[in-house]
Amino acid sequence: MIERYTLPEMGRVWSDAHKYELWCRVETLVVEAHAEAGTIPAEVVEPIRKAAPPTPDAVHAIEAVTQHDVIAFLSAWADNTEPREAARFVHFGMTSSDLLDTALALQLVEATDILLAKADTLVETLRDHALAHKDTLRVGRTHGIHGEPDVWGHRVADFAFAAARSRDRLRRAREAVGVMAISGAVGTYSNIDPAIERSVAEKLGLQPADVSTQVVIRDGISEWTSSLAIMATVLEAVALEVRHGQRTEVRELWEPFGKGQKGSSAMPHKKNPIMSERLAGMARIVRAQIVPVMEGIPLWHERDISHSSTERIALPDAATALDYMLNLTNRLMSGLVVDADRMRENLDSTGGLIYTSTVLLELVEAGMSRDDEAYPLVQKAAMETWQTGVPFRETLRTQAAEAGLTLDEARLDEVCRPERFVARLAPMFEHLEALK
């Protein structure tokens, strides 16, 4: 992921320097387990433990010759070991995938913990915003067209629960990627005791793979990537609502716009939904990683490395992009400007057409057939309002008179109040208050 969208903490997780630190940690634990088992001399443990991780430059210089990153790492780390003779017991009985998959599991767990912490914050932000606007009337829209009265808090509550489910889904995926293997070439433990694997797994807080055929099968990593993509798409849904609400014709919502900020190089009046549009674009990046990562599940026989190049790009990019998105969405919703007056103005802008469903039911309850009498009458009045701008109650009154009906005006006054439409949302908001 480019530096523009890489936040420091997540960037550190996926840096080469940190990767080599994790590689040293894994290899050291294997050496310690071997020494405890009496497989290798105990006196080599301390020199290996004290050897500083190699620098990325040192590893890359050797890799330019060897064309093998693990061998380059082992050689560079051996150069930091005193005495160097002790380094001969590093990687004892292991194969490259033992190191790569185990260290990758650690990176994925670290990255997930960063994402989960930010997801917790966003769930709280969305919950609080929704509760603050549980009485902020607005029109509910279907197909982009005014439907019935609603409240802004209802819309945001949907996002809050979706974000919470996405977080919980990612929490489960953390377990799916917290899997390691130290089983040697072809995964048969031919040169390393399974007890070594169990010892290292316990100290790293990981689970040994149920089966390793030299590589850990990628269904768990695919689940993790899919979880990230779902969360990113939920964030895009939040962004899409804000983008719509900031349109000039709507003007109900405004992204934070700081002092000195400029919206356009050519048009000084512009306040564009740049945060929301950025979220929409970045969600595509996260979603795009699902198929390439999933295609790493089928490998040739016990091992090939067709998954390796994909994952070096896809996993850091997905985690880093979502990390940025969570941070940006929290900023967006924390500073979102809600124009309640404009929402009410839009709600009233169609002259009462948003009450047609209630009027329809009132006429049915009064004895009219739904399809043959009530619906045609209400629809005809509504179409006249669309075409002429005459308020719906007036066109309805005219159509009713032509049909020989007298409307119960007091009853219509009662049922055509916007507050009535949202009264039954109270239990949902009580449920929302308990969301953690």
HEC-encoded secondary structure of the chain? CCHHHCCHHHHHHCCHHHHHHHHHHHHHHHHHHHHHHCCCCHHHHHHHHHCCCCCHHHHHHHHHHHCCHHHHHHHHHHHCCCCHHHHHHCCCCCCHHHHHHHHHHHHHHHHHHHHHHHHHHHHHHHHHHHHHCCCCEEEEEECCEEEEEEEHHHHHHHHHHHHHHHHHHHHHHHHHHCEECCCCHHHCCCCCCHHHHHHHHHHHCCEECCCCCCCCCCHHHHHHHHHHHHHHHHHHHHHHHHHHHCCCCCCCEECCCCCCCCCCCCCCCCCCCHHHHHHHHHHHHHHCCHHHHHCCCCCCCCCCCHHHHHHHHHHHHHHHHHHHHHHHHHHHHHCCEECHHHHHHHHCCCCCHHHHHHHHHHHHHCCCCHHHHHHHHHHHHHHHHHHHCCCHHHHHHHHHHHCCCCCCHHHHHHHCCHHHHHHHHHHHHHHHHCCC
pLDDT, residue 404, reads 87
Q: What residues have CB less than 8 Å from 150, skipping those under 6 apart?
A: 137, 138, 139, 140, 421, 422
Which CATH number covers residue 295? 1.20.200.10
- Among residues 92, 111, 133, the one where a domain terminates is 92
- Among residues 344, 362, 384, the one where a domain terminates is 344
- Among residues 318, 344, 370, the one where a domain terminates is 344
Return the structure tokens found at 66.
């060897």
Considering the domain architecture, whether residues 240 and 327 belong to the same structural domain is answered as: yes
Considering the domain architecture, whether residues 126 and 264 belong to the same structural domain is answered as: yes
Position 386, amino acid: W
In a domain, 435, yes or no: no
pLDDT digits (tens, 9 = 90+) for 105-117: 999 999 999 999 9
Considering the domain architecture, whether residues 300 and 368 belong to the same structural domain is answered as: no
Considering the domain architecture, whether residues 64 and 133 belong to the same structural domain is answered as: no
Provide the whole-model pTM.
0.93
How confident is the model over 153-169, as a mean pLDDT? 98
Could you list the residue range(s) of the whole structural domain that residue 406 is in? 353-415
Inform me whether the pLDDT recorded for 333 exceeds 70.
Answer: yes
Instruction: Of 249, 2, 229, give the one whose Cα is nearest residue 115.
Output: 229
Catalytic status, residue 91:
no
Between 265 and 5, name the one with better pLDDT.
5
Considering the domain architecture, whether residues 88 and 98 belong to the same structural domain is answered as: no
In a domain, 431, yes or no: no
In a domain, 105, yes or no: yes
In a domain, 433, yes or no: no
d(Cα 373, Cα 384) in Å, to the nearest integer? 17
Q: Could you say which of 91, 96, 129, 143 is catalytic?
A: 143
How much of the chain, in percent, has pLDDT values that exceed 70? 98
How confident is the model over 429-433, as a mean pLDDT? 97
pLDDT, residue 268, reads 72
pLDDT, residue 388, reads 95
Considering the domain architecture, whether residues 167 and 259 belong to the same structural domain is answered as: yes
In a domain, 226, yes or no: yes
Which CATH number covers residue 63? 1.10.275.10
Considering the domain architecture, whether residues 263 and 281 belong to the same structural domain is answered as: yes
In a domain, 113, yes or no: yes
pLDDT, residue 303, reads 86
How much of the chain, in percent, has pLDDT values that exceed 90? 90
Between 189 and 265, name the one with better pLDDT.
189
pLDDT digits (tens, 9 = 90+) for 15-67: 999 999 999 999 999 999 999 999 999 999 999 999 999 999 999 999 999 99
Considering the domain architecture, whether residues 237 and 311 belong to the same structural domain is answered as: yes
pLDDT digits (tens, 9 = 90+) for 335-388: 999 999 999 999 999 999 999 999 999 999 988 999 999 999 999 999 999 999
> Do residues 317 and 289 lie in contact, with contact meaning Cβ atoms separated by under 8 Å?
yes
Catalytic status, residue 143:
yes
> How many structural domains are present in the chain?
3
Considering the domain architecture, whether residues 106 and 171 belong to the same structural domain is answered as: yes
pLDDT, residue 397, reads 93
pLDDT digits (tens, 9 = 90+) for 168-213: 999 999 999 999 999 999 999 999 999 999 999 999 999 999 998 8
Q: Could you say which of 264, 309, 357, 369 is catalytic?
A: 264
Considering the domain architecture, whether residues 139 and 211 belong to the same structural domain is answered as: yes
Phi, psi of 39 (to 5 degrees): -75, -35
Considering the domain architecture, whether residues 98 and 235 belong to the same structural domain is answered as: yes
Q: How many residues does the chain have?
A: 436
pLDDT, residue 264, reads 67
In a domain, 276, yes or no: yes
d(Cα 158, Cα 422) in Å, to the nearest integer? 15
Instruction: Of 404, 408, 351, 361, give the one whose Cα is nearest residue 381.
Output: 351
Considering the domain architecture, whether residues 75 and 109 belong to the same structural domain is answered as: no
Between 273 and 133, name the one with better pLDDT.
133
In a domain, 2, yes or no: yes
pLDDT, residue 118, reads 98
pLDDT, residue 81, reads 96
